[in-house]
Amino acid sequence: MNLTVDKLNVSYGDKEVLKNISFSVNKGEIATIIGPNGSGKTTLIKAASRCLKPTCGNIYIGDMKIDEMNTRTIAQKLAVLPQVKNVSSDVSVEELVSYGRYPHLKFGKKLCREDKEIVDWALEKTGMKELRKRYAVSLSGGERQRAWIAMTLAQKSRIIILDEPTTFLDISYQLEVLELVRELNQSLGLTVIMVLHDLNQAARYSDKILVMNNGRICCMGRPEDVVNTCLLKDIFKINADIYDDKINNCLFLIPRNTIA
Amino acid sequence: MDSKNMKIEKIKKKSILFIFICLSAASFLISIGNGAVKISAGEILSALLFRQDTVNSQIIWNVRLPRTIAASLTGTCLALSGSILQGVMRNPLASPNIIGVSSGAGLMTLIVLILFPEFYFLAPLGAFAGALLATMFIYFLAWKDGAGPNRIILAGVAVSSLLGAGNNAIMTFYPDKVSGIIGFMVGGLSATNWQDVFTIIPYASAGIIMVLLIQNKLNILMLGDEVATGLGINVERTRFFFIIISSLLAGAAVSVVGLLGFVGLIVPHMTRLFIGSDYRYLMPATIFTGSFVVVICDTLARTMFAPVEIPVGIIMSALGAPFFLYLLRRKAEY
Ligand SMILES: Nc1ncnc2c1ncn2[C@@H]1O[C@H](COP(=O)(O)OP(=O)(O)OP(=O)(O)O)[C@@H](O)[C@H]1O
Ligand SMILES: [Mg+2]
């Protein structure tokens, strides 16, 4: 299922933060949003996940406008992992993941066998099986992040939106989360939209990169077409050299210095 | 092994719930049995089951039973109301008293009782209207592209102190009428009768049923607005609905018991310490703990300094605060 954003404008009060954003992410694609701090990435994610109302413009899932869809129906098609999350001190990993089934539950009904199997599957996929009885607050940052990802997986949606899924994780957990995202994308055909700060990771794991600056998308395309020295100079204000990573079959960059 | 663990956890919670139900039933017997005339449990049961014409049966049916039921209902309403507010605001300090719902109900009741005493029978209606108006006003103040929990609480505290000033002003202008309403200000149940019970039953039961139907949503709301939206909950609408239910419950209670503080704040916490924060267990448990606490405190209020009766609010605060601090210290991780 593809997600299309059409001429989207979003403001906080009278401060316009997103200006005329249009793009489309195709079914089965991994699209990564990059951009400097404050460029509007989180705002875009929030608008796409209906947490913020746009001042104008539309968002489509397939060919349906999201503001004309029932919020539960959207939740069955699109799962979101926001940056800021909250969990009570006595919620176990298993319970947390089972909340992912909420959009599929009928009014007043409990989890059925199928729901439980899906929860098991999500725990398995994220390698959280051994930790399922633990309280979510007692986990390490990386383990907790994987528990939340398991919750979004349990939603069984075709599209997943992740805001900075790797922040606060050490390098091995970062790799693990991104490998998991790619694995899910390849095995289940999930459409993924995420925000990353690490440009090397963005280049390695994305089919498409969207570069944001000052509330606009300034360019988008395949990583090798988008990430170049000009972009790094203009948008990220660094001088960097770009190399070819033969092993992972992608490009990588080594920053030299910032441009004062 | 794993699923066994889960089962044990569930059985544990269900047994705690069962204990609460028993305690609350026992508190009914204690409350009905104690007072100027002591009545044994056996006699109470036979009087309740087969209406007799004895004096004790008269006392039970005309005085103690309505009062005990009123105490139980107000306790349940206030505790549920507080529990809901703490959930939707994700703030442990939220309670009908602190966010201004009670003072709205209180001010309207005072206005009716003092300024229009001939319409005293409209006091409960005034209380609901007051609670609802206060809620709307708080929402209006807090609204700015949606109403986040923090803004609602801040607006609530402001509205609460504004309404409190209104309460005090009325009492200053009508000092002669103050003595009659002191019980109302601290919360008291003296002279409650069947009439009171029948007035609040519809509101209380409507509130309780609605809470039990949608308690599951509170668990999801606790995950944060964005996660809840992602899981298909209309956060603003759900929060508003819960707040309306909680002001309905608080209004019902205030119209009978007055500004009984503390129950709405502390009983939910107490219950949570025993049964955890899963609202599917917390809500049913709160119904019984709220009832238990107020029924017992009211019994103490009637009997401790007999024949003088002190307002139940005083007992509540005097016993509740130390007990709550004790619980907090014992459960260090809370
Ligand atoms: N609640 C808010 N009210 C007003 N302005 C806001 C609000 N949230 C964000 N902004 C502003 O909107 C702009 C975009 O913010 P946003 O959080 O989308 O940036 P970002 O690209 O996610 O940045 P980062 O890389 O630091 O996460 C910034 O200028 C920010 O100051
Ligand atoms: Mg951000």
Q: Does A120 touch chain B (CB under 8 A)?
A: no
How much is the CA Rg of chain B, to the nearest whole Å?
20
Give me the interface pTM, i.e. the ipTM: 0.89
pLDDT, tens digit, for every residue of B262-278? 888 889 988 988 898 88
DSSP state of A21: E
What's the CA-to-centroid distance between A197 and ligand 2, angstroms?
9
What's the CA-to-centroid distance between B225 and ligand 1, angstroms?
17
Q: Does A17 touch chain B (CB under 8 A)?
A: no
Rounded distance, CA B250 to CA B245, Å? Answer: 9
What's the CA-to-centroid distance between A40 and ligand 1, angstroms?
6
**Predicted pLDDT at A170:** 83
pLDDT < 70: residue spans in chain A: 108
DSSP state of A92: B
Q: Is the pLDDT of residue B334 over 60?
A: no
Regarding the domain with residue range B4-330, which homologous superfamily does it belong to in the CATH classification?
Answer: ABC transporter involved in vitamin B12 uptake, BtuC (1.10.3470.10)
pLDDT, tens digit, for every residue of B95-152? 888 777 888 888 888 888 788 878 777 777 788 888 888 888 888 888 776 667 788 8
**Predicted pLDDT at B5:** 64
> Are residues B220 and A99, on separate chains, in Cβ contact within 8 Å?
yes
What's the CA-to-centroid distance between A18 and ligand 1, angstroms?
10
Rounded distance, CA A144 to CA A149, Å? Answer: 9
Q: Closest Cα to atom 27, ligand 1: which residue?
A: A37
- Shortest CA gap A66–chain B (Å): 12
- A76 CB neighbours in chain B (<8 A) are 232
pLDDT, tens digit, for every residue of B150-163? 888 888 888 888 88
Q: Does B224 touch chain A (CB under 8 A)?
A: yes
Q: Which residue of A has its CA nearest to B211?
A: A108
> Are residues A102 and B231, on separate chains, in Cβ contact within 8 Å?
yes
Other C-beta atoms closer than 10 Å to the C-beta of B212 total 15
**Predicted pLDDT at B1:** 40
Q: Is the pLDDT of residue B292 over 90?
A: yes
pLDDT band (50, 70, 90) for residue B20: very high
DSSP state of B149: H
**Predicted pLDDT at A217:** 93
Q: Does B333 touch chain A (CB under 8 A)?
A: yes
Cβ atoms of residues A59 and A48 within 8 Å: yes
pLDDT, tens digit, for every residue of B173-184? 887 777 667 667
Q: Closest Cα to atom 6, ligand 1: which residue?
A: A12
User: Which residue from A73, A99, A133 is facing B223, i.e. has the nearest CB?
Assistant: A99
Q: Which residue of A has its CA nearest to B1?
A: A133
> Are residues B224 and A81, on separate chains, in Cβ contact within 8 Å?
no
**Predicted pLDDT at A96:** 93
Atom nearest to A36 CA in ligand 1: 25
Rounded distance, CA A100 to CA A122, Å? Answer: 10
Q: Is the pLDDT of residue B284 over 80?
A: yes
pLDDT, tens digit, for every residue of B33-89? 888 788 888 888 888 887 777 887 888 888 889 999 999 999 999 999 999 988 888
Distance, C-alpha A151 to centroid of its chain: 14
- Shortest CA gap A117–chain B (Å): 13
Better-scored residue on pLDDT, B281 or B50:
B281
Nearest to B265 by CA among B85, B105, B24, B138: B85
Pocket lining for ligand 1, CB < 6 angstroms: A 12, 15, 17, 35, 37-43
pLDDT, tens digit, for every residue of B201-218? 888 899 999 999 888 899
Q: Closest Cα to atom 28, ligand 1: which residue?
A: A38
Q: Closest Cα to atom 7, ligand 1: which residue?
A: A12
The domain made up of A3-258 has a fold known as Rossmann fold (3.40.50)
Cβ atoms of residues B282 and B216 within 8 Å: no
Cβ atoms of residues A192 and A31 within 8 Å: yes
- Structural domain spans, chain B: 4-330
The amino acid at residue B242 is: F
Burial class (CB in 10 A: 0-12, 13-18, 19+), A173: middle
Q: Which residue of B has its CA nearest to A98?
A: B220
pLDDT band (50, 70, 90) for residue B333: very low
Q: Closest Cα to atom 17, ligand 1: which residue?
A: A42
Please, which contacts does B57-64 make with residues 24 or more away whose CB atoms are closer than 8 Å?
A: B59/B35, B60/B32, B62/B193, B63/B35, B64/B31, B64/B32, B64/B35
> What would the mean pLDDT of B19-36 be, rounded to a whole number?
90
pLDDT, tens digit, for every residue of A210-254? 999 999 999 999 999 998 888 889 999 999 999 998 998 889 999
Token reading at B259: 């500004």
